[in-house]
Structure 1
Amino acid sequence: MVQQITNRKVVTVGLLAALFIGALDATVVSTAMPHITKELSGFNLISWVFSIYTLTMCVATPIFGKLADLYGRKSVFTAGLLVFAIGSILCGAATSMSALIWFRAIQGFGAGALTPVTFTIVGDLYPGEQRAKVQGIFASVWSVAGLLGPLVGGTFVDYISWRWIFYMNVPVFVAAFVLVFFFLHEKFEKKAKNIDYIGAIVFTIGLSAMLYALLNGGEKYAWDSALIIGLFIVAAIFIALFLFTEMRVKEPMIPLGLFKTREIRVIYMLSFLGFAVTAGVMVYAPQWIQVVLGHSATNSGFTLMPMCLAWPFAATMTGRLMFKYGPRLFIVSGAVIVAAGSLWLMLIDADSPYSYLVGILIVIGFGMGLLATPILVLIQNAVDWSQRGVATSTNSLMNALGQTVGVAMFGTLFNNAAAGLETKQIAHGMHVVFIAIFVIAVAVVLAVGLLPSQRKEPGKPQSSVAR
């Protein structure tokens, strides 16, 4: 438990810097990939540069979340920073695509600590209404990074070198390390810890097999291929072993007791479904603009900017007003607005103007901004301090899984519906995807109805925090 903070604002700046650069790194690489593959060769390995980062980040997220509860936030956060910085330096120095992929795996593992532990520390530092406001600001970081990522990446590639998209992380992380390590003071009770090694191992194997199958099925390998089927079987076996293990160990990596609370179950469901919708929109809306409407890649990229601006605006506004009006109002409003935007997306056709897509992305981005902050605050209020880290990291895992499963499902639907490469066939395939996005958005609205009535103030702190 945090007992003394020398300078809470300084720590907050350090956390923001670390979260921002981690989020930026997830988007900045896409702009530089043509130059990277040209220099390092291995174009056929390009998908692995992204996939391995997602895979290791998903695996590491709940592990770091649990370690933060066992060993304190600061030590785990700074360890994650160090791993990410090492991975960044190695990526910048890579001399082959294979090496870059391995180094991206290290980077992703370090990134698995940044988001969940950052939000956990914020939950510790700020009580009541302040927590909701600050969480709203932090929740918007990913959208801002998504907006700036292509611009930053393009600038480094054009004027310096693609290697500096990785090297630029180092000074930022040094600053973040200093601000957090020296100004965040924890009085953590030292006692014998029972680490769930077996749970971590079987979870890593099971989730890795499932993510590899989802990221490569339908593209590199057919869904009914022996490899993909075998991976899903391995995933099912090891996830079952993981659940069996978690029911018996003293300090489970993911306490299954979390899921006994209906509120948390519903919130995790909302996170999973909401980010599946977001993934589908961000992948296929730009493609519609390029292929069906005939706009340039630059224009399609700029179309995402309003969404990336509407999301942080709504998240920040929600953080300021949620304590006054309660989280349920914003969750319901966000779900309905996302569904409305998805319905609009489903109804567009080849004759729909470009401005419709801009409006759709603004609506969906605004709705997701309303959802993100109250979901995070509700989770942190629903558990004790000793489980806040793992509860927050599990929500981050649900976000990532929603995106991964969503992209895999939408890709399969698109490939099955688009019978060829003609514009009409591609448009039909994407329209099928838009229908699926709307169905999931409706499921989000229905899931909101399962939330129990709020029994306590949304900003009520669970632990004492010195000001």
Structure 2
Amino acid sequence: MSKASGKTPGDGKGKQPGAMSPELRPLTIGILAIITCAAFEAMAVVTAMPSVARELSGESSYGLAFSMYLTASLLGTVVAGSWCDRRGPRPALAVGMALMILGLLAAGAAPVFWLVTVGRAISGLGGGFMIVAVYVVIGRSFPQQAQPVVFGWLAAAWVLPALIGPVVSGFVTEKFGWRWVFLGVAPVVLAAVVIVWPKTRQLGPIGAPEAGSARAQTLRGLALAGGVFAAQWAVVRLADTEAPGAGLVAGLASLALAGIVVVLLVLPALLPPGTLVLARGLPSVIATRGLVNVAFFGTEAFIPLMLVSSRDISAGTAGLTLSAGALGWSAGSFVQARVTFERGWLLVAGSSILSLSLGGFALATAVEAPLWVLAVVWGLSGFAMGMTLSSTSVLVLKLSPTTEQGRNSAALQISDQLGGVIGTAGAGALFALLHDDGNPGHVPTFVAIWLALWVSTAAGIVSGLRGARASDAAPTSTPSKSMEGTVPA
């Protein structure tokens, strides 16, 4: 593949190759290896976190360990978007790997909970670099008709980690201690990147965005991550403080408000115009990604804690519920790769199914339904996410010219991660406000969290409807127009 042309294999040569054709098979396997390792890291860490919080007395800051990972990912994503357009995906992939490993080692060695949170933030920064690099590799290496299949396989790559990740993590946590969950994942991440590294040598830069523009994007990314951090830290600190004085309340409230204002000021420049008002086409596709993430990841972060504290079951058994969600996610992604109708309508269907399943999960939690019921309902939530998120990935690449796939992929990941931050930080703040130290398994506290998060699924349905016509649009050859990506409202 020519560095200058940026064409996918088979361009102008008749039938285009599939994802497992001889010329693409090594790259496909390498990408799947990276996602498999990332999936194992996610499933293992989520399963171990209740034990981490209990040993290091970090229950009140539990949500920060997840939201800070995503907050740092925002910064990594913004920087990686322009970096991949200027230099190709290889530098971002290498730096992302190094940071993720460093963060895992730091969290595994942490003597106090806030250092675990710092380690998670470092890993999140690396994860932001790596995911944008992977998206750019897919967009530039695979023909358009093969991309839904690739994204389907990426979701399928979660199956094995979903099945063995919680079991292995629970076993390691109970027999050897939670630290080895973090320390043991680090070499696995290294091995995955080593596999794909030689296959990305030909993916050099296509365009050269202006240096001033790249610097501006980086500064916006710093401001966004800083604003998000300030807001979530202030909210959690306020909720966690018993009988705070008027001065502390005013200070923390002002800090939270300032953080929110900063986010609202810089976010529009990092997303396609119209994203925040759900303009049709690309903006609403990206907005849908964020809205469903609010509900799903905010809920997922607290499922193990709810099961361990309210039902006194082992960490490994609690993690099996997450396995059901991952398996459902893979099934949903498998289905979306085989649809024959307009792909945009999968956003509506996925958001609707997520709304119903999350409401059912709140009800099942409230009546203390058997564990298998929770697993089935959460599996349905995962099915909705697999169908929705894989479709947003395909649509964004379809609506993006080659020279801006890095930037638009970064915008999609910003929405993805910001949704996760809002969901986990909001759930964490609500948990810190409502939980009782004397009764950490208080079921109504978790039900209140699920219902609060459910609201975003309704907004996701509206956004999905607005983005349903996205695939009618085509990427324009003018780079400045590609970020609009809209059809007439």
Normalised by the shorter chain, which TM-score bucket? 0.7 to 0.9
Equivalent residue pairs, number: 449
**Alignment map for 1:34-53 (pairs within 5 Å):** 43-44=57-58, 47=62, 50-53=66-69
SS in 2 for 1:377: helix
Equivalent of residue 362 in structure 1, options 379, 382, 398: 379
Q: Per-residue displacement from partner, 1:14-67 (whole Å, max 9, x unpaired)? A: 2222233234333423555688789xx964597565554333222211211221
Which residue matches 1:251? none
| Identical aligned residues as a percent | 18
Which residue matches 2:300? 282
SS in 2 for 1:225: helix
8 Å Cα contact 2:47-2:170 kept in structure 1: yes
SS in 1 for 2:357: helix
Classify 1:105/1:173 alpha carbon distance in 2 versus 1 (closer, same or farther; 3 Å).
same
Equivalent of residue 451 in structure 1, options 463, 467, 472: 467
8 Å Cα contact 1:7-1:183 kept in structure 2: no
Which residue matches 1:383? 400
Q: Does 1:73 align with 2:73?
A: no
Q: Distance in 1 between matches of 2:343 and 2:135?
A: 18
Which residue matches 2:457? 441
Classify 1:445/1:74 alpha carbon distance in 2 versus 1 (closer, same or farther; 3 Å).
same
Q: Distance in 2 between matches of 1:277 and 1:236?
A: 19
SS in 2 for 1:217: helix
Q: Distance in 1 between matches of 2:7 and 2:373?
A: 51
Quote the offset at 1:198 in angstroms.
4.3
Q: Does 1:180 align with 2:204?
A: no
Equivalent of residue 305 in structure 1, options 297, 318, 323: 323
Classify 1:347/1:87 alpha carbon distance in 2 versus 1 (closer, same or farther; 3 Å).
closer
**Alignment map for 1:127-276 (pairs within 5 Å):** 127-141=143-157, 145-157=161-173, 158=175, 162-163=179-180, 165-166=182-183, 168-170=185-187, 172-174=189-191, 176-177=193-194, 179-189=196-206, 193-195=210-212, 196-215=214-233, 217-218=235-236, 219-221=239-241, 225-236=249-260, 238-239=262-263, 242=266, 246=269, 254=270, 256-257=272-273, 259=275, 262-276=280-294
**Alignment map for 1:394-433 (pairs within 5 Å):** 394-413=411-430, 426-433=442-449
8 Å Cα contact 2:354-2:381 kept in structure 1: yes
Residue type of the alignment partner of 2:412: N
Give the structure-1-normalised TM-score: 0.79
Equivalent of residue 82 in structure 1, options 94, 98, 101: 98
Report the RMSD for the aligned CA atoms in angstroms: 4.0
8 Å Cα contact 1:314-1:370 kept in structure 2: yes
Residue type of the alignment partner of 1:433: I
Classify 1:208/1:327 alpha carbon distance in 2 versus 1 (closer, same or farther; 3 Å).
same
Q: Per-residue displacement from partner, 1:307-346 (whole Å, max 9, x unpaired)? A: 2211112212322x13x33313432322222222133234
Q: Distance in 2 between matches of 1:453 and 1:203?
A: 30
Q: Per-residue displacement from partner, 1:427-460 (whole Å, max 9, x unpaired)? A: 33333333334433233223222225355499x9
Classify 1:450/1:296 alpha carbon distance in 2 versus 1 (closer, same or farther; 3 Å).
same
Quote the offset at 1:165 in angstroms.
3.6
SS in 1 for 2:44: helix
Classify 1:175/1:350 alpha carbon distance in 2 versus 1 (closer, same or farther; 3 Å).
closer
Which residue matches 1:328? 344
Q: Distance in 1 between matches of 2:181 and 2:309?
A: 32
Residue type of the alignment partner of 1:378: L
Q: Distance in 2 between matches of 1:85 and 1:302?
A: 25
* Greater mean alpha carbon deviation, residues 265-274 or residues 335-344: 335-344
8 Å Cα contact 1:4-1:186 kept in structure 2: no
Q: Per-residue displacement from partner, 1:266-324 (whole Å, max 9, x unpaired)? A: 122211121122124324555555566675555433233222211112212322x13x3
Classify 1:301/1:178 alpha carbon distance in 2 versus 1 (closer, same or farther; 3 Å).
closer
* Greater mean alpha carbon deviation, residues 72-81 or residues 187-196: 187-196
Q: Distance in 1 between matches of 2:302 and 2:142?
A: 38
Q: Distance in 1 between matches of 2:101 and 2:187?
A: 6
Q: Distance in 1 between matches of 2:87 and 2:347?
A: 33
* Greater mean alpha carbon deviation, residues 373-382 or residues 113-122: 113-122
Residue type of the alignment partner of 2:235: G
Question: Which consecutive residues of structure 1, in runs of 5 or more, have no partner in the other structure?
Answer: 247-253, 463-467
Q: Distance in 1 between matches of 2:53 and 2:432?
A: 26
Q: Distance in 1 between matches of 2:134 and 2:146?
A: 16
Q: Distance in 2 between matches of 1:340 and 1:23?
A: 26
Quote the offset at 1:98 in angstroms.
6.9
Q: Distance in 1 between matches of 2:200 and 2:151?
A: 20
Residue type of the alignment partner of 1:14: G
Q: Distance in 2 between matches of 1:292 and 1:159?
A: 24
Quote the offset at 1:11 in angstroms.
1.8
Question: Which consecutive residues of structure 2, in runs of 5 or more, have no partner in the other structure?
Answer: 10-21, 478-489
Equivalent of residue 391 in structure 2, options 356, 374, 382: 374
Q: Distance in 2 between matches of 1:198 and 1:187?
A: 23
Classify 1:256/1:30 alpha carbon distance in 2 versus 1 (closer, same or farther; 3 Å).
closer
Q: Distance in 2 between matches of 1:419 and 1:162?
A: 27
Classify 1:255/1:67 alpha carbon distance in 2 versus 1 (closer, same or farther; 3 Å).
farther
Residue type of the alignment partner of 2:253: I
Which residue matches 1:19? 35
SS in 2 for 1:133: helix
Give the structure-2-normalised TM-score: 0.76
8 Å Cα contact 1:74-1:184 kept in structure 2: yes
Classify 1:256/1:396 alpha carbon distance in 2 versus 1 (closer, same or farther; 3 Å).
closer
**Alignment map for 1:102-117 (pairs within 5 Å):** 102-117=118-133
Residue type of the alignment partner of 1:311: W
Classify 1:31/1:329 alpha carbon distance in 2 versus 1 (closer, same or farther; 3 Å).
closer
8 Å Cα contact 2:358-2:454 kept in structure 1: yes
Classify 1:36/1:446 alpha carbon distance in 2 versus 1 (closer, same or farther; 3 Å).
closer
Q: Distance in 1 between matches of 2:295 and 2:165?
A: 21
Classify 1:337/1:190 alpha carbon distance in 2 versus 1 (closer, same or farther; 3 Å).
closer
Q: Distance in 2 between matches of 1:296 and 1:33?
A: 12
8 Å Cα contact 1:66-1:389 kept in structure 2: yes
* Greater mean alpha carbon deviation, residues 296-305 or residues 356-365: 296-305
Q: Distance in 2 between matches of 1:237 and 1:398?
A: 17
Q: Distance in 1 between matches of 2:184 and 2:371?
A: 38
